[in-house]
Structure 1
């Protein structure tokens, strides 16, 4: 089970025009605690950000699964409902979870979710799908990545 934390990082970004602009960008990091999330965020971003940067916020991300797609350049959050039948009450019961999919657009994100869910015995439906502002995701290792090829 992974513990993902969303770290918001503030720094001076050099724009294409050559001007410098203060930006705050969210990153997702796999860690055991808030302290480790801060340390891993600093470690992962040091090579990519020149100059000083500050971690302005860290919060726990309630994600049950992340599907990586090497073609994708953005991250989409999906609300997925697992559907079970309550035999005693005779009704459908939906259990919602949040998942993240890396894709180029929303249609590809839905394909990535469906491909990642292949082989799942439970019935499910993708209730909502929206683009996030997450810039990158840093799992513990490359082996932890569940890469989906479409």
Structure 2
């Protein structure tokens, strides 16, 4: 089961350090099962974040394969990763692109964090582009106890594997 990330744009009146209030539109990222859940979750998150009225101006599916937060980082960067595979029929290299969001303080650190995120990749890859993202914050899904998206996916996969083992043992 893959995670679907939604970009939500929210417009609200923000009070700046100078005390001046200004109408601001910010982009947030969250994972959800549907647009309806994404809207409900961004309403919940923003209600906790601001006491001002806000308007959700846009919700769209984000073209992201993975999201990697890193401690002591304050900005989000979108990394384009080209996975390289050899086409056995033609003998040519074939590239397929994926995008991931990494947290970092600058582009150099974003490249290093993208490389760290790709450490366990068996195949060859390149990182042809990194750009700062307009995303202000990421709200991953947590159910009850705090677990990451990867832990949720791993738990779901292991439950399925245990069920398959039980089914096979019943056949014997």
Q: TM-score range by the shorter chain?
A: over 0.9
Aligned ranges for residues 99-114 of structure 1 at < 5 Å? 99-114=100-115
Q: CA RMSD of the aligned region, Å?
A: 1.1
- Three-state SS of the structure 1 residue aligned to 2:127 is strand
Aligned ranges for residues 1-150 of structure 1 at < 5 Å? 1-141=2-142, 142-144=146-148
Whichever structure has more strand as a proportion of its residues is: 1
2-side partners of 1:111 and 1:38: how far apart? 33
2-side partners of 1:6 and 1:12: how far apart? 20
TM-score by length of 2: 0.82
5+ residue gaps, structure 1: none
- Three-state SS of the structure 1 residue aligned to 2:135 is coil
Residue 134 of structure 1: CA displacement?
Answer: 0.4
State the structure with more CA Rg.
2
1-side partners of 2:149 and 2:18: how far apart? 35
5+ residue gaps, structure 2: 151-172
TM-score by length of 1: 0.94
Aligned length: 146
Whichever structure has more helix as a proportion of its residues is: 2
Structure with more relative contact order (C-alpha pairs < 8 Å, separation 6 or more): 1
Is the CA contact 1:68–1:145 (under 8 Å) kept in the aligned structure 2?
Answer: no
